[in-house]
Amino acid sequence: MNIRPNVYVTRMLPEAAIDLLAAHCDVEVNPEDRVLERVELLEKVKGRDAVISLLTDTIDDEILVAAGPQCKIFANYAVGFNNIDLSAATKRGVVITNTPDVLTDATADLAWTLLFATARRVVEAEKFLRDGKYQGWGPMLLLGLDVTGKTLGIIGSGRIGSSFASKAKGFNMKVVYNDIAANPEFEAATGGVFTDKERLLQQADFVSLHVPLLPSTHHLMSDKEFSLMKKTAILINTSRGPVVDEKALARALKNGEIWGAGLDVFENEPAVDPDLLECANTVLLPHVASATIETRTNMGLIAVRNILNIFSGKPPITCVNPAVLQAE
C-alpha cells in the first residue's frame, strides 16, 4: 500500500482492530461512546477513503454523497447490513463489507442463553433471591419448562441458525426448520427436517428466528403466527427486531397464547415496547448476541482487513455487493 488511506470509524472498537488500522492508515475514531447524530455523521464521513460503520448508522445515498467519490469502502461492523442502502452503494461504486462467520457461534450461544433463561425463569429466579424473597426450597417455586427432548423450530437456516440447531444434539431435541427452500447443508449439520412455517409453529416448543431483515421478513411473526404456536411455546429472537411485530407479541404473551419470549433485538432499538416490558415471562437483552471480547475483536479485524485489502489491490474478504468489484 503506497498511500495511507484516510479512514473514519464511527465508534470505538476493540483496540487490536484500531491498532492494525492505524498501522496502515490515517484514522479518526469517534471519541464518544455514542451513536453519532445524522448531521455529525454527514460531516465526519466527508473526504474519507473508507469508513467503518455500525449497525446503528444509517448509510444511505446522502451519506455516500457526503463521503465523496474517492470513498471506496464502508466496512460494516456487523453481519447484518440492513442499515445500508446496498443499491445506492453499488450504483456509486462503493464496496460494502460485513463481518460474517466470526460471530456465528457467539450469536448462537446467546440464543441458547435466552432459551434456557426463559424456559427456566433464570432472571426472575435470580431477582427473587436478591430481593430477599427466598425462604427455602419449595415444590411449586418458580416452575419452568423442560428443554431436553423437546422440538426446536428454526426459522432461517443460514450460518447462525445452523450453529444454533446443531448445538441441540446435546439436548436430544427434534429439529424442524423453515426457509425459502430446503437446505441440505443445514440438514446434514443438524438432522433438521424441512417443514412449512405453519406446521413448524404448531409443532415447535421453541421457535428461534435466524433470518436477515428484508421486506419479506418484516413482521414474519405477528398475530396469526402467535395464534398457531403452542401455549407452552417460547419465541427466541437474536436476528433483527422488526422481524417480530412487538405489539402482537406482547398481546400473545399477555393472553397466554405463548408461554414466553427471549429477545436480544427490538423493533425500535434502543426503545423497547412498554407492553413487552410489562410481561414477566420475557428475558430482554440489549442486543448483545455478538458481545464477547474474542468475537468483537475478530469482527473489528475483519472490517479492517477488508479496508486494507481494498487499498492493496486485493479483493475484500466479505463483500456483500460484489457487483461493484465486477464493474471495476
| Total number of residues that touch ligand DGY (CB under 6 A) | 7
Of 76 and 151, the one with the shorter C-beta distance to ligand DGY is 76
Cα 50 to its chain centre, rounded Å, is: 24
To the query of whether residue 269 is one of the catalytic residues in this protein, the response is yes
Cα 22 to its chain centre, rounded Å, is: 28
Which value, in Å, is the radius of gyration of the alpha carbons in the chain?
Answer: 22
220 binds ligand DGY (CB under 6 A): no
Minimum CB separation from ligand DGY for residue 320, in Å? 12
Task: Kindly report whether the peptide bond that precedes residue 100 is cis, defined as omega within 30 degrees of 0.
Answer: no
| CA dihedral sign, ordered 68, 73, 78, 82 | positive
To the query of whether residue 218 is one of the catalytic residues in this protein, the response is no
Q: Residue 113 corresponds to which cell in the numbers above?
A: 442463553
How deeply is 313 buried, as exposed, middle or buried, from its count of CB atoms within 10 A (0-12, 13-18, 19+)?
exposed
Minimum CB separation from ligand DGY for residue 165, in Å? 18
290 binds ligand DGY (CB under 6 A): yes
289 binds ligand DGY (CB under 6 A): yes
Q: Residue 249 corresponds to which cell in the numbers above?
A: 407479541
Minimum CB separation from ligand DGY for residue 58, in Å? 15
Applying the rule CB under 6 A, the residues between 65 and 84 that interact with ligand DGY are: 78-80
To the query of whether residue 287 is one of the catalytic residues in this protein, the response is yes
Minimum CB separation from ligand DGY for residue 10, in Å? 14
In sequence order, which residues have a C-beta less than 8 Å from that of residue 129 and are 6 or more positions away? none
55 binds ligand DGY (CB under 6 A): yes
Alpha helices in the chain (DSSP H): 15-24, 38-44, 61-67, 86-91, 104-119, 122-130, 159-166, 184-190, 197-203, 223-228, 246-254, 274-277, 293-311, 323-327
- Strand-pairing partners, residue 97, are 75, 319
200 binds ligand DGY (CB under 6 A): no
d(CA 33, CA 13): 10
Applying the rule CB under 6 A, the residues between 226 and 245 that interact with ligand DGY are: none
Catalytic residue of the set 240, 257, 296, 305: 240
With CB under 6 A as the contact rule, the residue among 45, 89, 96, 103 that binds ligand DGY is 103
Minimum CB separation from ligand DGY for residue 6, in Å? 25
Minimum CB separation from ligand DGY for residue 103, in Å? 5
Residue with cell 433471591: 129
Of 241 and 260, the one with the shorter C-beta distance to ligand DGY is 241
In sequence order, which residues have a C-beta less than 8 Å from that of residue 113 and are 6 or more positions away? none
Q: What is the side-by-side strand order in the sheet with 260-263?
A: 193-194, 174-178, 151-155, 206-209, 234-237, 260-263, 282-284
Cα 229 to its chain centre, rounded Å, is: 23
Minimum CB separation from ligand DGY for residue 77, in Å? 8
Residues labelled as active-site residues: 240, 269, 287
Residues that bind ligand DGY (CB under 6 A): 55, 78-80, 103, 289-290
